[in-house]
Structure 1
Amino acid sequence: MTIHYIEEKQLFHLQAVDTSYIFQIVNGYPVHLYWGRKLTHDSSLSRFLDYPKQAWIDRLPQEYPQYGSGDFRHPAYQVQLEDGSRITELVYQSHRILNGKPRLQGLPAVYTESDEEAQTLELVLKDPYSGLAVILLYSVFRDHNAITRSVRFVHDGKGAVRILRALSASVDLFDSDYEALYLAGAWTRECHIQRRRIGPGTTRIESRRGASSHQLNPFMALVRPNADEEHGEVYGLSLVYSGNYSAEAEVDQYGSTRFSIGLNAFDFSWKLDPGDSFETPEAVMVYSGEGIGGMSRTLHRLYRTRLVRGVHRDRERPILVNNWEATYFNFNAEKIESIAKAGAELGIELFVLDDGWFGKRNDDTTSLGDWVVDRNKLPNGLTDLAERVNRLGLQFGLWVEPEMVSPDSDLYRRNPDWCLHVEGRRRTEARTQLVLDLSRQEVRDYLFEALSEIFSTVPVSYVKWDMNRNMTEIGSVDYPAERQPEIAHRYMLGLYELLERLTGRFPHILFEGCSSGGGRFDPGMLYYMPQTWTSDNTDAIERLKIQYGTSIVYPISTIGAHISAVPNHQVGRITPLTTRGDVAMSGNFGYELDLTRFTDDEKETVKQQVNLYKEIRSLVQQGDLYRLKNPFQGNETAWMFVSEDQTEALVFYFRVLAEPNASHKRLRLKGLHPDYQYAMMDSELILTGDSLMNFGLTVPHLHGDFTSTWFRLKQKQA
């Protein structure tokens, strides 16, 4: 059993693999008592974890706090009643404990494959005055050190209620000795690690862009000041959502911290008529007593095995070549076939045709929405090209950007009201495109039919789904005035519905999410698309920080990483092909350049890279990641992958700039079995796991800037 209830004290004890989460009903309020390392469940808990009933509400550490009745900290929810008042008071009504984990209506979420994998607590709170019921859902996993939370609002009263704020999780911690850890950046420099001390007031990250964003990822952790990769306490919140969100840590006058995550209340409200309900996105809560790395590996295993779905979840991902940086919009069938032919000779498995194959798409100013092949570029059609690629022994993949429309397109000329807009107002264009209104069923139906026509007539095995701008003029002609603040969230629900239909009809297609790179790299999209294009920046040195930061939350199997040409198209840097390969092989590996331009020596290097990745990709994509050297803190970067049974490991080491008269470098490894003997491949060296983790490996001398090396270790059989 993972959820316990002590009835005489109204105390709930949730136990994950190595975590306990405890709260109690006090004067009708669910009051938080403990979140941390797993505690033994016995009767003594109710003696030392018993909150005083005379506590003032502004001091209560609450599970789902309200505003207006004495608590002056930021609330988890707020509603407006029909009389204009914003005062509700939720009190405990009932609860039930279920085996398994119910699905959320219309929202992505972590799942179970059998009821034995988890238990769920449904805690029903009710405001007697308005009739509003709020159900707090807690799911606890048997095999994962995580707890998920979401909230369902049900209006059982009279008259309309308007939800103004609806967070997914809120927890009051008893002190403020923390640093906030989060991922920030911009286009081409996503997921840079930020870490700063919290103090009185609020530390807040958010998106108001209609997408989870390049700027701030929907994740925040509170870490003890002494916490590092291996040691110290970490409390992580990750939101399974792809739209506007907020995460915040508020330190009050008593030094306690309110930590929360959920939908962004900015420019949001949701009308509930009597009988209506509303569900929030799911928050994933992870406690680690083994530092940041422990939190990451919990999230990795959970997301890799119980968020990602479908036939590709456990399959090795193919090595691909994408033509974008090779040709941009300037290609024809012969050029594409020549790149695919070169790829086949090098052992590559998948060719991806990027932007420019449809409508009159010779640049980025036209044709989005017109999902018909450009016969000027491909006179024999897309099916013919795909079959030519297939005959070379490669799978065929395709780029699409379905959520957008170009003003210069047949679709827009037919349906100018199909985009997000407000009548009489300017329609802001970005990248010469507008955003289709996916809150409307007819728009989603058009996209489903147009894309289904392509996917069912062309032998497509992979789709890169791009989204290259954020929302402006957020409005819809399908909804009345009082529901306009719902549109951004309705858009996300519409997108999720469309993706559910498409992935259900075409389960064989491997979908990769993209939003100008990492602008929508979030757990919500991973529910439908097993991997994401991590960044449009393909420079190997910049990618060290981007991929390291992304791995704080996301498993390597979700991280797309490609070798591109030099000088790099984003920063102009020239890096060795071997270094570019080692960085890209630390993710879902591929190439994004003109393979026909390789020299014979480069072709030989690429063949070696392809063959190596085929040997190691199951370890990279499914193994446990350990970060060894932090690129944000010095000249070196290192990480390693360890098989679940600890019999195999792969270590990558990178040095950015050469150092004169440098000392010998040693890498202390992690995650190995201390008693195993490990043989280093291509060497006669045999070392025990404890010596590798405590003394380390000596890094060979590297010459020049932007260099790298790697080590493979396998357990020596007796």
Structure 2
Amino acid sequence: MPILFNEIDNTITLTTKNSSYQMKIDKYGYLLHTYYGAPIESDMSYLIRGFDRGFSGNPYVAGNDRTYSLDQLPLEYPVEGNGDFRLTALSVKEAGVSGLDLLYKTHRIEKGKYSLKGLPTVQDQETVTLSVVLEDKAKGVEVELKYSVIEDTDTITRAAIIKNVGEGEIILQNAASVSLDFLYGDFNLIHFQGRHAHEREKVVTPITYADFSIGSRRGTSSHQHNPFVIIADKETTEDTGSCIALMLLYSGSFAFRCAKDQYDQTRAVMGVLDERFDYSLLKGEEFVTPECAISFSLNGFSTLSHNSHKLVREHITHGPWALKRRPILINNWEATYFDFNKNKLIKIAKQAKELGVEMLVLDDGWFGNRWDDNRGLGDWFVNEEKLGGTLSSLVEEVNEMGLKFGLWIEPEMVNEDSLLYKEHPEFAFTLPGHKPIRSRNQLVLDFSQTKVVEYIFNMISKVIDSAHIEYIKMDMNRSLADVCSQDCSQGKVLYKYTLGVYDFLQRLLNRYPNLLIEGCSGGGGRFDAGMLYYTPQIWTSDNTDAIERTLIQYGTSFAYPISSMGSHVSAVPNHQTGRITPLNTRSVVAMAGSFGYELDLNKLSIEEKDEVKKQTDSFKELYEVIHNGLYYRLTDPTVNKEFVSYLNVTTDRKEALLSIVTLSTQGNPLNKYVRLKGLEENINYYNSFDKKVYKGSSLMHGGILLPYESGEYNA
């Protein structure tokens, strides 16, 4: 049984194959967090010792025991106002007074995985759910902590439901999904920062006595920080050491906070951002936090990533495309931008089909008065003048070639120069008495209002119904700034907006169950597990430069599987950096993702077209090892500036794909070596590059001597 309650010592222990998580109901009714790490079988509260410590107060229930203080105990769900002065998971105000004191009420263990209303969750009906109810009777607040165990990925999921069981109104000022306490240890925080076109660069920050926080205030998970972090022992490497991942299944504003306290204990808290969050609950109402999946590895970051990749592919992403091979696509955006017509699109499609591409995606500019990016957003009807006829006629012609057809949408946005805005200006966020804040000359629609979601969905579904659309790229090209809704209290808007986005996506999937949706937010501005529940792949970055992409995809790989990363071969000089890289290098990098092209293939030479055909054939042949295999990072491009290397290995470990991309070239170069991982030591492996056979043990312990080629950026 993965969840056990011990009636003798009042411990509840959750167990996966390689980890244990334990809490304890103590003698006063407080819920302590006693352990998370490698498997154990006993009450771990023996590690806790109280002292009479100055300025660390004692709850009234402890009587004269001055060694008992919530300011020094490891707590499962810490709250504000009960004598614990560290970071808190929950803050509640009632009648203008903040403070809470939660005590154990009851718990239950049930078969099946819990769900959360309106929110994406990990899926596994073979598991069990633990619900622990804490209460503050005087305040009229109950908190139901939810847990499930995903044994095959060494993952435990957590969420909280806060309920108003009193008579008056309460206001939530902070409501986190998870809190973790560590009695001792010296940790690094690995997090992933960036900006538009430079997302998810790995950063290592020591956890110290200062409160440290990352997150997003932008209404989305953002380009700047990702809702995935790792807490690791300082000596942890790719292959050794203890580390814990926290993956928040949420696509809105979020916060992660951590600090070491005065007694060298560490606390980490993660959940919805508490800024612009002031969530009122009347009698009988409840607030549901997003889910957080936590995973433990005793064998370094590689194992932790394998856990996360398997979790996303097999337990988060749902629908027919979760594990199914995605079509190789060509997107017209960098080939034409807004300057296209039917003849141009058909010409691109014909050439793509000849070279092994399987789907044409029509990007921005097909609808309304959308001749540039200053107008037309919100008018989701086909611009037949631009397409030279109906969308269905274009799609039929593309389908007759043997290609699938996909379409770009940006449902959350509106231009002021649009029919939608002229008819319904109240649909857009704007502060009362203020002119709106523009970004990319567009405003944000209030998706916290169900009527707005329904209105946009009905418009877009008419377009999808009109033609054989098999793929949607759903974009979102700005942050949320001047947020004000006509439909709910302002402290609820950002949370309800995110739920509105999920509602829109679920409506699409309910109506079109075989539809493949790719997420996008100016590239990787909403690359998170919440979106991956609905969209099996996400456009990794608007930066398509192959060399820059190695760094972006490296950071992304710590949390998210290769199959989730939209990655395309684009033209050179690259449109973002001006860099010129070989066509082979661009394909090697793009194959470490959901492969495709974003250029006009008609402009390539005969030799380049032959190379593209070989690339598409190769990707189809190697799909199993790339998308369904285990992924190993062999070098760290934030440290090794000469080359980046990564390895895909089939789950039976009989086949592997080694990728190497040169980042810099020197005269009179040194020999370069890389050790492979994940192979079977006693298997002979045939190297298709040098036509030789090597023992797995030789490749892993001795490594491989990399070939030398002159020139820049070879792969």
**Distance in 2, Cα, partners of 1:353 & 1:426:** 33
Number of the residue aligned with 1:96: 108
Number of the residue aligned with 1:198: 207
2:291 is the alignment partner of 1:285 = no
Number of the residue aligned with 1:215: 224
**Distance in 2, Cα, partners of 1:155 & 1:196:** 38
CA contact (8 A) 1:176 1:199 kept: no
- The letter of the residue matching 2:37 is G
Number of the residue aligned with 1:657: 664
State the Cα distance separating 1:422 from its structure 2 match: 2.3
**Distance in 1, Cα, partners of 2:390 & 2:691:** 55
Shift in alpha-carbon separation, 1:189–1:486, aligned structure 2, 3 A: same
**Distance in 1, Cα, partners of 2:663 & 2:303:** 27
State the Cα distance separating 1:683 from its structure 2 match: 4.9
Number of the residue aligned with 2:463: 454
State the Cα distance separating 1:423 from its structure 2 match: 2.0
Contiguous gaps of at least 5 residues in structure 2 = 51-61
2:23 is the alignment partner of 1:17 = no
TM-score, structure 2 normalization: 0.96
CA contact (8 A) 2:87 2:258 kept: no
* 1:357-410 Cα distance to aligned partner (Å, 9 max, x none): 111111100000001111221121111111111111110011111110000000
Between 469-478 and 401-410, report the one with greater CA deviation. Answer: 469-478
State the Cα distance separating 1:79 from its structure 2 match: 0.6
CA contact (8 A) 2:191 2:204 kept: yes
5 Å-filtered alignment, 1:162-311, equals: 162-311=171-320
- The letter of the residue matching 1:64 is Y
2:69 is the alignment partner of 1:56 = yes
Identity %: 42
CA contact (8 A) 2:132 2:144 kept: yes
User: 562, 567, 575: which is aligned to 2:568?
Assistant: 562
5 Å-filtered alignment, 1:364-379, equals: 364-379=373-388
Number of the residue aligned with 2:635: 629
CA contact (8 A) 2:519 2:535 kept: yes
**Distance in 2, Cα, partners of 1:31 & 1:397:** 51
State the Cα distance separating 1:276 from its structure 2 match: 0.8
CA contact (8 A) 1:657 1:704 kept: no
**Distance in 2, Cα, partners of 1:50 & 1:535:** 46
2:652 is the alignment partner of 1:645 = yes
Shift in alpha-carbon separation, 1:375–1:47, aligned structure 2, 3 A: closer
SS in 2 for 1:172: strand
- The letter of the residue matching 2:8 is E
Shift in alpha-carbon separation, 1:47–1:564, aligned structure 2, 3 A: closer
User: 524, 534, 541: which is aligned to 1:518?
Assistant: 524
2:81 is the alignment partner of 1:68 = yes
User: 533, 552, 566: which is aligned to 1:546?
Assistant: 552
State the Cα distance separating 1:259 from its structure 2 match: 0.8
CA contact (8 A) 2:391 2:466 kept: no
Shift in alpha-carbon separation, 1:3–1:547, aligned structure 2, 3 A: same
TM-score, structure 1 normalization: 0.96
**Distance in 1, Cα, partners of 2:400 & 2:110:** 52
2:484 is the alignment partner of 1:484 = no
CA contact (8 A) 2:392 2:467 kept: yes
CA contact (8 A) 2:35 2:44 kept: no
* 1:403-454 Cα distance to aligned partner (Å, 9 max, x none): 1000000000000110112221221111010000011121111111111111
User: 79, 94, 99: which is aligned to 1:87?
Assistant: 99
**Distance in 2, Cα, partners of 1:539 & 1:55:** 58
* 1:538-570 Cα distance to aligned partner (Å, 9 max, x none): 000000000001011001110010011000000
- The letter of the residue matching 2:661 is F
Number of the residue aligned with 1:28: 29
2:581 is the alignment partner of 1:575 = yes
Number of the residue aligned with 1:4: 4
User: 596, 599, 611: which is aligned to 1:593?
Assistant: 599
**Distance in 1, Cα, partners of 2:45 & 2:71:** 24
**Distance in 2, Cα, partners of 1:504 & 1:246:** 31
- The letter of the residue matching 2:70 is I
2:321 is the alignment partner of 1:312 = yes
State the Cα distance separating 1:46 from its structure 2 match: 6.3
5 Å-filtered alignment, 1:329-340, equals: 329-340=338-349
CA contact (8 A) 1:184 1:190 kept: yes
* 1:493-536 Cα distance to aligned partner (Å, 9 max, x none): 11111111111111111000000000000111011111000000
Number of the residue aligned with 1:493: 499
User: 130, 136, 140: which is aligned to 2:139?
Assistant: 130
* 1:156-191 Cα distance to aligned partner (Å, 9 max, x none): 111111111000000111225111100000000001
* 1:14-71 Cα distance to aligned partner (Å, 9 max, x none): 10120111111122111111111112x3xx4368467668531100110101121211
* 1:169-218 Cα distance to aligned partner (Å, 9 max, x none): 00111225111100000000001111121211112101000000000001
**Distance in 2, Cα, partners of 1:495 & 1:218:** 17
State the Cα distance separating 1:298 from its structure 2 match: 0.5
SS in 2 for 1:58: coil
- The letter of the residue matching 1:623 is G
CA contact (8 A) 1:513 1:529 kept: yes
**Distance in 1, Cα, partners of 2:44 & 2:562:** 42
User: 418, 425, 450: which is aligned to 2:434?
Assistant: 425
CA contact (8 A) 1:3 1:15 kept: yes
State the Cα distance separating 1:680 from its structure 2 match: 2.1
CA contact (8 A) 1:17 1:141 kept: no
State the Cα distance separating 1:120 from its structure 2 match: 1.5
State the Cα distance separating 1:265 from its structure 2 match: 0.5
Shift in alpha-carbon separation, 1:345–1:47, aligned structure 2, 3 A: closer
CA contact (8 A) 1:560 1:589 kept: yes
SS in 1 for 2:175: strand
CA contact (8 A) 1:530 1:558 kept: yes
* 1:595-617 Cα distance to aligned partner (Å, 9 max, x none): 11010000011011010001011
Aligned length: 698
Shift in alpha-carbon separation, 1:423–1:48, aligned structure 2, 3 A: closer
2:419 is the alignment partner of 1:410 = yes
**Distance in 2, Cα, partners of 1:122 & 1:441:** 30
SS in 2 for 1:157: coil
- The letter of the residue matching 2:299 is E
SS in 1 for 2:620: helix
- The letter of the residue matching 1:244 is S
Number of the residue aligned with 1:711: none
**Distance in 2, Cα, partners of 1:335 & 1:311:** 32
User: 27, 42, 45: which is aligned to 2:43?
Assistant: 45
**Distance in 2, Cα, partners of 1:578 & 1:628:** 20
* 1:619-676 Cα distance to aligned partner (Å, 9 max, x none): 2111110000111112210001111111111110111111222222222101112222
**Distance in 2, Cα, partners of 1:545 & 1:414:** 45
5 Å-filtered alignment, 1:455-474, equals: 455-474=464-483
Number of the residue aligned with 1:714: none
**Distance in 1, Cα, partners of 2:269 & 2:487:** 33
- The letter of the residue matching 1:12 is I
Contiguous gaps of at least 5 residues in structure 1 = 709-718
Give the superposed CA RMSD.
Answer: 1.3
Number of the residue aligned with 2:59: none
* 1:444-482 Cα distance to aligned partner (Å, 9 max, x none): 111111111111111111110000001121111123xxx
- The letter of the residue matching 1:475 is C
Between 543-552 and 4-13, report the one with greater CA deviation. Answer: 4-13
CA contact (8 A) 1:212 1:241 kept: yes
- The letter of the residue matching 1:637 is V
2:694 is the alignment partner of 1:687 = yes
**Distance in 2, Cα, partners of 1:127 & 1:603:** 69
* 1:344-365 Cα distance to aligned partner (Å, 9 max, x none): 1101001000011111111100
